[in-house]
């Protein structure tokens, strides 16, 4: 009886419970009523909590209605200033989607969740987290039309986040993608905002006409929309800034004044931006009293720390130019304190610690303050007869600024953004070197010499070396991702902008780049050795170079490294026991180098004005080389920051040919640190594959390249010197054959055509069927090759990227891990090059170091030729870049033979005993 009563009560409870649960449709109507009832946030949240408690009792499994309730709850938390709680609610939604089959959940709600989460992370300055979730919006969108609105909004915030981080290449990619989607949606407001951000990115990249075009397209879209007047004011301000940099001053000032008038009328929150922009306009036009007045007005109106820091920085620069150094330092200190409130140093002596700086998001603001502080101390010191203490403070600030540049470089993935920051900060290195010179400190000057060049090449080699720390599966995955990105970049370049095909490929590229970024992050977390190797930015000291580079080459060896800046030329000479730190006359250098380059580019000019050539080259020798007092017949390594120059062609005499290359074995390097990346002698293997020669001879008609008769015979002649070698000529000399065979050989020679110039045309090598471009080389992975000889025109030529060097084919092969490359600096003549390389390889066969082998080849050429063939044009254009260690020994092939016979004897021995 009791059991029956219990069951009856249980059933009655169930029916009553079921009776109190509204249908899902009624729940949805209740939610809509809560959403639209016009209550305060607090009242709405109270009603929503009751609704959710009832839902969870009746329907324990979430569906889209419940997700929408969570979205409303999260939005209320955000409106109420509880951003962290809003983040937690949206994370809960993502967990629901991950745990649910998705049959009753809308994809568009997941897109909205990721988008909002990205907005919230941006608000609390967690930009990397924001980028990750906003990328998820794009990743899950597919072809779902309901997702486009969230994808569009995600692009807007991605542009902003990458812009704030200084990764302008990524920001511009998302601006292009967002522009197309906004046009598809016919959303003028979003389109206007995307165009505004696009203009801002282009402005930072100094693409001023394009930036003006974008902002002029943005303004009419919302100019007459009352709700968008805040955006209109900021757009007019950006337009004024762009016109200012275009030196269209009357139009610029009019736009800035219009922007300020709109902002005052609307009582905008960030109104201080506008007088600050007008102040900077007056500062650039030299009207400093007007500038200071507007800056003070901006400070009175300002509520944000970042604007204040810029204002204080600009005021400091005005005082610095007026030689009011104490006032300048005081304002710089105020600027630093707006970003790091806990930092307070009235003496202006101390600097914020690097560990604090590393956690900041907008490091570029603080970098400007620290860099200007360093420059102010430098100018202050010079005004006080090179005050040593002030110079030391300047140098300390430059060291801190340099470490900040490293932090920023690691945070960026796009090469264009990295190069932008290299160019933007390049002047800083010249100033730091000047401080070192005034302090007579060659040790720290050498540090800044190294940091002024080929840093991205160093990063590429670090990544390559780090990859060797990975398991084979990870290595393969990394290579596949890199290959995919390169292919998509090329595909994108071929598409017409603002077309569906362009957007499709761009979307694929963005996803591939984010995949690479996530992959790198995972590696860094689970492989400390990889992380350590990839971010090894240690700059070698002078003693390191002596011990690990110069000493192994012999006692009579020197490193000469030059820095050519806007205002000064410096040089450091490192020898066995001495270090020289010199400054050269800038005007003399500029005129001599210009005249010398004119001679080097023309064989006929060299021939017709040979006496003048000798005079110019001797003057350049006396200016740059003679002061270092090099010993006769020494080995000399030369490093410059603006590409390679053939120092071998300088004459020690102005009256007769007495070339530097006849007395010194000269090699070149991108930086001293590059020589420490991979010492050949430490990594030589007994690989039997010694030499690979590739000579296409004939090229496809579409290439437009003429035949190279005799190039195959030149390769065959060299190949006869080496055991276990191979020749690919004519139709065998394909791009695919090169990619397959070259990495397996110690020495590779390419006898072919190449095109390159200094305007930005991508350097290209030609094969019998197709081409290999500079950007392709980065996808090849690691080579076992120790020496690459590029017997083609202009393989050392490319666009000179300020602060990084020339992007040439030679550099491309260096980034693939090849430690030694012989390259050409101009359109060399075929026969001299073929004969010089033949002689070069004969000396290599004897086991000579590469620099000595090339010097001996040149000297033998000069002894056996006459007439115009003795002109530097014929022989000085072929230079050695990188390591100089021997790459071949006559005994190499005996190791292979011995290994074969030992293996054979071991095999026969085992078989014999098995029979017994």
Average pLDDT of the residues in 693-706: 86
Q: How confident is residue 680, by pLDDT bands cut at 50, 70 and 90?
A: very low
Q: Per-residue DSSP letters for 653-674?
A: -SSS--BHHHHSEEEEES-TTH
Which residue matches tokens 């690459």? 788
Q: Are 449 and 642 in contact (CB under 8 A)?
A: no
How would you label 308-334 residue by residue, b for 16+ Cβ within 10 Å and e otherwise? Answer: bbbbbbbbbbbbbeeeebeebbbbbbb
By the 8 A CB rule, do 332 and 313 touch? yes
Q: What is the mean pLDDT of residues 648-669?
A: 94
Is pLDDT above 50 for 361? yes
Average pLDDT over the chain reads 82
Q: How far is residue 458's CA from residue 469's CA, in Å, rounded to a whole number? A: 17
> 266: number of CA atoms within 13 Å, CB side?
20
Exposed, middle or buried by CB within 10 Å (0-12, 13-18, 19+), for 415?
Answer: middle
Q: How far apart are the first and last CA of the chain?
A: 91
pLDDT-derived band at 14, boundaries 50, 70, 90: very low
Predicted confidence at residue 700, as pLDDT, reads 84
- Torsion-angle region of residue 296: left (phi > 0), alpha (psi -120 to 50) or beta? alpha
Place of tokens 């063939």: 869
Higher pLDDT, 821 or 226: 821
pLDDT higher at 344 or 454:
344
Residue 483: pLDDT band (50, 70, 90) is low
Q: For residue 684, name the pLDDT band (cuts at 50, 70, 90).
A: very low
Q: What is the mean pLDDT of residues 557-579?
A: 93
Handedness of CA 273, 275, 279, 282 (dihedral sign): positive
CA 473 to chain centre: 26
pLDDT at 377 over 50: yes
The pLDDT of residue 389 is above 90: yes
Please identify which residue in the block is written with the tokens 């610690």: 353
- Beta bridge partners of residue 751, listed in sequence order: 791
pLDDT value at position 61? Answer: 76
pLDDT at 529: 57
User: Which of 859, 849, 779 is CA-nearest to residue 819?
Assistant: 849
Residue 694: pLDDT over 80? yes
How far apart, in whole angstroms, are the C-alpha atoms of residue 670 and residue 77? 55
Task: Give me the residue label for tokens 């967990």.
Answer: 95
Q: In whole angstroms, what is the distance from residue 836 CA to residue 838 CA?
A: 5
- Give the pLDDT mean for 59-66: 80
Q: What percent of the chain has pLDDT over 70?
A: 81
CA 199 – CA 211 distance, rounded (Å): 4
- Please give the torsion angle defined by the CA atoms of residues 598, 602, 608 and 609, in that order, rounded to the nearest 10 degrees: 20
**Residue 900 pLDDT greater than 70, yes or no:** no
In the DSSP assignment, the letter for residue 682 is H
CA distance 475 to 681: 25
Q: How confident is the model at residue 16 (pLDDT cuts 50, 70, 90)?
A: very low
pLDDT of residue 105: 80
pLDDT band of residue 530 (cuts 50, 70, 90) is low
Cβ pair 666, 851 in contact under 8 A: yes
Give yes or no for residue 271 having a pLDDT over 80: yes
Band of the pLDDT at 19, cuts 50, 70, 90?
A: very low
pLDDT value, residue 17: 42
Give the range among 79-93, 423-437, 487-501 with minimum mean pLDDT: 487-501
Are the C-beta atoms of residues 299 and 314 closer than 8 Å to each other? no
> Given this model, what pLDDT does residue 783 score?
76
d(CA 332, CA 710): 66
In the predicted model, what is the mean pLDDT of residues 572-582?
94
What would the mean pLDDT of 397-421 be, rounded to a whole number?
A: 69
Give the model's pLDDT for residue 231. Answer: 85
Whether the predicted pLDDT of 409 surpasses 90: no
Q: What is the pLDDT at residue 618?
A: 96
The mean pLDDT value for 198-207 works out to: 92
Q: What is the value of pTM for the model shown?
A: 0.74
Percent of the chain clearing pLDDT 90 (strictly above): 39
Highest mean pLDDT among 349-353, 365-369, 473-477: 365-369
- The DSSP bridge partners found for residue 381 are none
Give yes or no for a contact between 163 and 192, defined as CB atoms under 8 angstroms apart: no
pLDDT value at residue 332: 93
Number of H helices, E strands in the chain: 43, 16
What is the radius of gyration, based on Cα positions, of the chain?
Answer: 33
Residue 805: closest CA among 689, 653, 645? 645
CA pair distance 261, 72, nearest whole angstrom: 37
Q: What is the pLDDT of residue 8?
A: 39
d(CA 163, CA 176): 14
Contacts of 677 (CB under 8 A, 6+ apart): 458, 461, 465, 819
Mean pLDDT of 777-789: 77
User: 419 or 146, which is more confident?
Assistant: 146
**Which whole number is the average pLDDT over 307-321?**
92
Residue 683: band (very low, low, confident or very high) from pLDDT cuts 50, 70, 90: very low
Using CA atoms, how far apart are residues 160 and 125, in angstroms rounded to an integer? 12
Higher pLDDT, 214 or 807: 214
Paired with 851 in beta bridges are none
What the block records as the tokens of 492 is: 């994108």
The yes-or-no verdict on residue 472 having pLDDT over 80 is: no
Cα 340–Cα 345–Cα 347 angle in degrees, nearest 5: 150
pLDDT at residue 175 greater than cutoff 80: yes
Place of tokens 């499994």: 61
**pLDDT above 50 (res 839):** yes
In contact, 734 and 767? CB cutoff 8 Å: yes
pLDDT for res 210:
95
Spatial separation of the C-alpha atoms in residues 487 and 505, rounded to whole Å: 10
Helix (H, G, I), strand (E, B) or coil at 574: strand
Higher pLDDT, 607 or 140: 607
- Residues 321-336 have pLDDT tens digits of 999 999 999 999 998 8
Host H or E run for residue 791: strand 787-791
Kindly tell me if the per-residue pLDDT of 156 is higher than 50: yes
18, pLDDT greater than 50:
no
Confidence of residue 535 (pLDDT cuts 50, 70, 90): low
Does the pLDDT of residue 523 top 80, yes or no? no
pLDDT at residue 514, rounded to an integer = 73
C-beta separation of 106 from 67 below 8 A = yes
Query: What is the DSSP code (8-state) at residue 348?
Result: S
- How is the chain split among helix, strand and coil, in percent rounded to 5? 65, 10, 25
The residue with tokens 């967002």 is 178
Minimal CA–CA distance to 445: which of 484, 510, 395? Answer: 395
Q: What is the pLDDT of residue 771?
A: 85
Per-residue pLDDT band at 68 (split at 50, 70, 90) = confident
Is residue 803's pLDDT more than 60? Answer: no
Return the pLDDT at 44: 82
Q: Is 763 helix (H, G, I), strand (E, B) or coil?
A: coil
Assess whether pLDDT exceeds 80 at residue 165: no
Question: How much is the pLDDT for 313?
Answer: 93
Nearest to 330 by CA among 340, 315, 351: 315
- Residue, of 911 and 716, whose pLDDT is higher: 716
Q: Does the pLDDT at position 878 exceed 80?
A: yes
Q: What is the largest CA-CA distance in the chain?
A: 129
CA 194 to chain CA mean position, Å: 24
Average pLDDT over residues 153-175: 87
Taken in order 94, 95, 96, 98, the sign of the CA dihedral is positive
Q: Which two tokens stand for residue 434?
A: 């000047």
pLDDT band for position 703 (cuts 50, 70, 90): confident
Tokens of 351: 């600097």
Q: Say how many C-beta atoms besides its own lie within 10 A of residue 912's C-beta.
A: 9
């Amino acid at each position: 009886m009791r059991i029956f009563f219990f069951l009856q009560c249980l059933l009655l409870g169930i029916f009553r419970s079921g009776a109190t649960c509204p249908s899902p449709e009624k729940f949805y109507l209740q939610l809509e009523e809560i959403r639209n009832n016009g209550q305060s946030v607090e009242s709405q949240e109270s009603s929503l909590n009751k609704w959710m408690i009832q839902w969870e009792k009746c329907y324990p499994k979430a569906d889209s209605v419940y997700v929408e309730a969570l979205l409303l709850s999260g939005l209320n938390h955000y409106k109420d200033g509880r951003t962290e709680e809003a983040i937690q609610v949206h994370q809960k939604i993502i967990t629901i989607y991950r745990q649910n089959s998705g049959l009753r959940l809308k994809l568009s709600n997941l897109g909205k969740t990721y988008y909002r989460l990205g907005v919230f992370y941006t608000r609390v300055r967690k930009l990397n987290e924001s980028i990750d979730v906003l990328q998820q919006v794009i990743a899950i969108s597919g072809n779902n039309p309901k997702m486009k609105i969230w994808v569009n909004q995600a692009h807007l915030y991605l542009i902003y986040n990458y812009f704030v981080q200084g990764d302008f290449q990524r920001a511009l990619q998302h601006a292009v993608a967002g522009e197309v989607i906004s046009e598809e949606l016919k959303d003028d407001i979003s389109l206007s905002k995307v165009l505004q951000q696009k203009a801002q990115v282009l402005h930072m990249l100094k693409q001023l006409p394009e930036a003006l075009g974008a902002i002029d397209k943005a303004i009419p879209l919302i100019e007459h929309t009352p709700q968008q007047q805040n955006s209109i004011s900021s757009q007019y301000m950006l337009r004024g800034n762009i016109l200012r940099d275009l030196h269209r001053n009357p139009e610029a000032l009019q736009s800035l004044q219009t922007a300020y008038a709109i902002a005052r009328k609307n009582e905008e929150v960030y109104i201080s931006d506008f007088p600050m922009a007008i102040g900077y306009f007056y500062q650039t036009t030299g009207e400093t009293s007007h500038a200071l007045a507007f800056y003070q007005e901006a400070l009175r109106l300002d509520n944000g720390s970042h604007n204040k820091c810029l204002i204080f920085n600009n005021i400091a620069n005005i005082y610095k130019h007026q030689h009011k150094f104490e006032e300048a330092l005081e304002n710089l200190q105020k600027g630093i304190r707006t970003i790091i409130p806990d930092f307070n140093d009235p003496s202006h002596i101390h600097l914020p610690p690097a560990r604090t700086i590393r956690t900041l998001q907008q490091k570029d603001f603080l970098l400007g303050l620290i860099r200007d502080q360093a420059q102010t101390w430098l100018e202050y010191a010079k005004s006080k007869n090179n005050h040593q203490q002030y110079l030391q403070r300047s140098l300390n600030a430059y060291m801190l600024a340099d470490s900040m540049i490293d932090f920023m470089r690691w945070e960026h993935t796009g090469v264009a953004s990295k190069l932008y920051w290299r160019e933007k900060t390049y002047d800083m290195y010249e100033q730091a070197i000047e401080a070192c010179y005034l302090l007579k400190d060659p040790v720290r000057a050498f540090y800044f010499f190294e940091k002024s060049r080929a840093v991205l090449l160093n990063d590429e080699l670090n990544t390559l070396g780090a990859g060797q720390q990975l398991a084979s599966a990870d290595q393969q995955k990394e290579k596949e991702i890199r290959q995919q990105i390169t292919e998509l970049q090329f595909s994108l370049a071929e598409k017409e902008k603002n077309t569906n095909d362009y957007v499709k490929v761009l979307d694929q590229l963005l996803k591939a780049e984010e995949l690479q970024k996530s992959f790198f992050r995972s590696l860094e977390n689970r492989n400390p050795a990889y992380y350590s190797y990839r971010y090894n930015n240690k700059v070698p000291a002078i003693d390191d170079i002596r011990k690990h580079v110069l000493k192994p080459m012999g006692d009579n060896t020197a490193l000469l490294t030059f820095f050519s800046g806007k205002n000064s030329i410096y040089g450091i000479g490192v020898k066995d026991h001495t270090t020289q730190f010199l400054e050269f006359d800038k005007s003399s250098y500029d005129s001599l180098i210009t005249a010398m380059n004119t001679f080097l580019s023309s064989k006929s000019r060299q021939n017709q004005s040979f006496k003048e050539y000798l005079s110019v080259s001797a003057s350049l020798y006396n200016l740059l080389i003679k002061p270092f007092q090099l010993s006769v017949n020494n080995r000399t390594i030369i490093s410059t920051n603006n590409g390679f120059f053939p120092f071998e062609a300088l004459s020690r005499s102005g009256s007769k040919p007495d070339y530097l290359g006849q007395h010194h074995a000269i090699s070149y390097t991108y930086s001293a640190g590059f020589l420490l990346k991979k010492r050949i002698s430490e990594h030589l293997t007994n690989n039997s594959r010694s030499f690979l020669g590739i000579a296409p001879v004939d090229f496809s008609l579409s290439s437009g390249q003429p035949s190279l008769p005799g190039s195959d015979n030149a390769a065959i002649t060299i190949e006869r010197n080496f055991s276990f070698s191979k020749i690919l000529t004519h139709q065998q000399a394909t791009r695919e054959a090169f990619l397959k065979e070259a990495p397996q050989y110690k020495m590779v020679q390419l006898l072919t055509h190449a095109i390159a110039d200094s305007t930005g045309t991508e350097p290209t090598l030609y094969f019998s069927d197709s081409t290999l471009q500079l950007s392709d080389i980065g996808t090849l992975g690691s080579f076992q090759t120790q020496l690459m000889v590029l017997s083609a025109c202009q393989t050392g030529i490319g666009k000179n990227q300020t602060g990084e060097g020339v992007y040439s084919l030679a550099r491309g092969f260096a980034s693939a891990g090849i430690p030694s490359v012989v390259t050409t600096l101009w359109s060399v003549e075929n026969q001299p090059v073929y004969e010089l390389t033949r002689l070069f390889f004969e000396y290599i066969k004897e086991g000579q170091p590469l620099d000595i082998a090339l010097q001996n080849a040149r000297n033998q050429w000069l002894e056996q030729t006459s007439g115009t063939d003795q002109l530097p044009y014929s022989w000085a254009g072929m230079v050695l870049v990188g390591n100089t260690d021997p790459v071949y020994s006559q005994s190499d092939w005996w190791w292979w033979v011995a290994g074969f016979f030992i293996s054979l004897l071991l095999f026969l021995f085992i078989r014999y005993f098995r029979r017994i």
